[in-house]
Structure 1
Amino acid sequence: VAGKWRLIEKISNGGFGVVYRAVNVFDNTIYAVKVERELMQKDSALRNELRVYNNILRSDPNSSGTGIARIFHYGHVDKDYRALVMQRLGPSLEDLFQYCGRSFSLKTVLMLGEQMIQRLEYLHVRNIIHQDIKPENFMMGLANGVDGAIVYIADFGLSKDFESTPPFPHKSTAPQLPQGTTRYCSVKAHRGHLQSYRDDLECLGYVLIYFLRGGRLPWCGLRNGRPTMTDEEHARAVMQIKMSISVQKLCEGLPEEFARYFEHICALRYGEVPRYAYLRGLFWELYRSRGYAQDNVYDWSI
């Protein structure tokens, strides 16, 4: 890539391309490289991701340390592929969740949750809506590095700029499939509404409950015994459960702070700015009340 990086091995496959581990041929430093086949210019997830990174860089030139990966190069590998060279990160939260036997302690979830809210606030202040919040899109820094305890937010392929005055912000386009990942996406996304700050935080709430309940959400397992269920039918069934379930039922058996988190999110209107400090404070006060040490020791570190 650009005569400077050599692809070593495939790290992961995604819906929008492939991620490789790469080495700088001049100093042997390891990087990550996202590669996408150049088919549709307009709908390029990689090009959209670069746009988001550039917006962040313009607003915050010293963005290192904020949980946003650094970008080093964007260009064509050959005439059929484009590549984005970026900072190498550690495993995703989904990888670590699997490593820990699909079980995270409350302490770990609270530490993650506080940082994840910070990452979303950082994006939202810059009018960026992520639109695909899920465990796979949050990654830890390298375990042996200075950022080993830092949560990074990644994959901006579906991200968009917030529209403060859209023509019909609440009009449903009745999509066959929601924007984002069905398991975690917001009710508004299911209904085809334009998404705003509240939607990213709603998705994050589902992710945290997923971690606390051993990988289970009330709408998981709907395909069991129904092998012919289409993706569209599955998405509609998930939406119906999300729309009908109460906050109390969703958060049953969990510390009350999680219900208060959802109550705040559900009360927000389109474009209304969440009280990020309040949401972080819910988790911090719960963390403190349980007497957990402020040691940055996660379940996978023990």
Structure 2
Amino acid sequence: MAGRGKKAGGKKKANGYKMPAPIPVGEVINDTLMNKKWKIGPSIGVGGFGEIYSASAGSPRKSANNYPYVVKIEPHENGPLFVEKHFYIKNANKEDISKFMQSKKLSSLGMPTYFGNGSHDFQGEKYRYLVLERYGKDVWTLFNECDRSFPTTTVFQLGLQMLDVLEYIHSRDYVHADIKGANILMGLKKGTENQAYLVDFGLASRVNDKEFKPDPKCAHNGTIEYTSRDAHLGVPTMRGDLEILGYNMLQWIVGELPWEKSLKEPKTVQSMKENFMKNPKANITKQYPDVPNALIQFFEYINTLKPKDIPDYTKCREIFESYLKSEGKTRQSKIEFIKSKNTKPVKNTDKELEPKNSLKKVVVRRRGRLAKAKSPESDNCENEQPADIAETVKTKKRKSTEPHVDVTIKKTKMPPKATPPVKKNHKNTATQTSVEKPKRRVSFDLPEKDKDSSQEVNSSVDIFDDSQEIEEKKVKRRRRLLNTKIVTVNRVVRKKTTARNKTSDTPATANGRSPK
């Protein structure tokens, strides 16, 4: 048997389980118990015990997305799928799940149903298989895609759904013992996108009715970062399932558990968890001040339970639901894994109720543009006009019963800006056009700096009366000031010039423009 397994390509993993040989797409599994034929599709994952394939009942499908089932396959030598198969046979009956949902008034429950199981021979190797419904992404993948942090309300929504599943499992005298993001899958069918399903019951076991006694052979079973204190001692319990859920929720909020750097040392992790749970309020408040008090209350309640106690699921749900209510959410709210960009809520409730295209926002934008236009630091103000204009801004038609409001925005009157002094050989390219004009030479009288200067001044037949000079003059500001103190400002005055008949080869510029 072992030789045939090697020939088929099976290899043992580090945990001692032998992996099955790859099953080709289109392989048919004859289910004699359910009288069905399951056709294997593309592989969608590899677990610690075997491989998971997409599957269909009937003719093969073209795309893996059209396969509504999954088939979990492991060699007969392994054991986890054997445990899981028998758990599903006893506890995943549709009628039992439906009765529980009716008694708890639940519209959905994250307990998967199974559709078939049996044995299958492939290339001389005997395999065990289990057929389940296909689900979407697992929470661990989503957690990593969201930079290892979920919105706090999403964490408590997932916690509520897991409490429902755990209550159902515990009512059947079973514990899961391996709750983690990789074993929580989101619904794939239409209408189940917001429902999380707890899968992988390979470590599920019946509740031990005997006296609580540590079992070294089963010590540290499960996924080490989430293993409960009871499971570290080798005894899985109902309160241990709640503790495991609490560790997951803490990680989903803060991103990392305090003992994640010591996972290779199970006893060290066990000791750190014991110290953490001695005073969860002080430890969480000190290390993670942003964690809601509701999660601290959940840990404190777990500490009140004895090993054989049945948890009060109603009380736990009330703790989670009270927090969601304080955040304006319910368990039926849409689950959002990506945090909102606006992390800080607006305290003013009136602002939250305003429509996106509100009148107030329009006015603010208009004012922003006007303020920019009136900036005294603007250099390109040559063609600026006084802004003595009144504009009326009207809101768009809304389907609201609120009255229609018209708001008039007046622009402050602004005096015209002075044209800067003429610069030698300066060309303002912003005022030039693409049409070439006939070249002409224009000159103007320059201000006389020295009466005795013998330098000749250029001129032409074309005369413009806008040559300017800066004259310093003391004036009072027209605007109302806090005092009547006289200030000194530069005032632009116009000076007439006379033309001279002499021309020059060098073209002059006026008002910052080229006459070409």
Q: So what's the TM-score if we normalise by structure 2? A: 0.52
Cα distance, 1:163–1:206 mapped onto 2, change above 3 Å: same
Verify the 8 A CA contact 2:92 2:112 in the aligned structure 1.
Answer: no
Residue 50 of structure 1: aligned partner: 85
**Closer, same or farther: CA 176–201 of 1 in aligned 2, 3 Å:** closer
Aligned mates of 2:190, 2:283 — CA distance in 1: 37
The structure carrying a bigger helix percent of its residues is 1
2:39 and 2:55 in contact (8 A); partners too: yes
SS at structure 2 position matched to 1:195:
coil
Counterpart of 2:88, as a letter, is: Y
Counterpart of 2:159 in 1: which secondary structure? helix
Matched, 1:162 2:207: yes
Q: Is 2:214 aligned against 1:178?
A: no
Deviation at 1:157, TM superposition (A): 0.6
Distance in 1 between residues matched to 2:237 and 2:222, nearest whole Å: 13
Q: CA deviation at 1:30?
A: 2.5
- Show the counterpart of 1:113: 159
Q: Deviations over 1:129-172 (max 9, x none)?
A: 00111111111101x522111111100111011122x1x42x22
Corresponding residue for 1:26? 59
Deviation at 1:25, TM superposition (A): 3.1
Deviation at 1:103, TM superposition (A): 1.3
Provide the rounded CA distance (Å) in 1 between the counterparts of 2:297 and 2:58: 51
Partner residue in 1 for 2:300: 263
Find the residue that maps to 2:260 and give its secondary structure.
coil
Q: Given the alignment, which residue of 202, 227, 234 partners 2:243?
A: 202
Q: How does 1:1-302 map to 2 (within 5 A)?
A: 1-2=29-30, 4-26=37-59, 28=61, 29-40=67-78, 44-57=79-92, 60=96, 62=98, 65-78=108-121, 79-142=125-188, 145-164=190-209, 166=210, 168-169=211-212, 171-175=213-217, 178-192=220-234, 194-214=235-255, 216-222=256-262, 231=264, 234-245=265-276, 246-252=279-285, 253=289, 254-292=291-329, 294-300=332-338
8 Å contact 1:251–1:258 — kept in the other structure?
Answer: no
How many residue pairs get matched?
Answer: 284
Query: 1:273 and 1:220, CA in 2 relative to 1: closer, same or farther beyond 3 A?
Result: same
Q: CA offset at residue 207 of structure 1?
A: 0.2
Determine the structure 1 residue equivalent to 2:6.
none
Q: 1:127, 1:182 → 2: CA distance? A: 24
Bigger radius of gyration, 1 or 2? 2
The two structures, once aligned, show a CA RMSD in angstroms of 2.2
Give the gaps of 5 or more residues in structure 1.
Answer: 224-230
**Structure 1 residue 24: deviation in Å?**
2.7
Q: Is 248-257 or 270-279 further displaced after alignment?
A: 248-257
Instruction: Look up the equivalent residue of 1:217 and give its one-letter code.
Output: L
Report deviation, 1:250: 4.1
Give the deviation of 1:95 after TM superposition: 1.2
For 2:150 and 2:60, locate their aligned partners in 1 and report how far apart those are by CA, in whole Å: 38
Opposite residue 60 of structure 1, the aligned amino acid is: D
Deviation at 1:18, TM superposition (A): 1.2
**Contact 1:175/1:190, CA 8 A, preserved across alignment:** no
CA distance in 2, matches of 1:173, 1:259: 29
Q: Higher relative contact order by CA 8 Å / sep ≥ 6: 1 or 2? A: 1
**One-letter code aligned to 2:226:** Y
Q: Percent identity?
A: 32
- Show CA shifts across 1:236-255 (max 9, x none): 11011001123124432211
Q: Give the Cα separation in 2 of the matches to 1:57 and 1:295.
A: 27
SS of the residue corresponding to residue 41 of structure 2 reads: strand
Unpaired runs of 5+ in structure 2? 1-28, 31-35, 62-66, 102-107, 341-516
Distance 1:175 1:251 in 2: 32
Deviation at 1:69, TM superposition (A): 1.6
Q: Are the structure 2 counterparts of residues 176 and 121 from structure 1 closer, same or farther at C-alpha, using a change threshold of 3 Å?
A: closer
Letter in 1 for 2:221: Q
> 1:218, 1:250 within 8 Å by CA — same for their partners in 2?
no
Give the Å deviation of 1:126: 1.0
Deviations 1:34-65 (A, max 9, x none): 0011115xxx2112112111221457064794
Q: Secondary structure at the match of 1:145?
A: coil
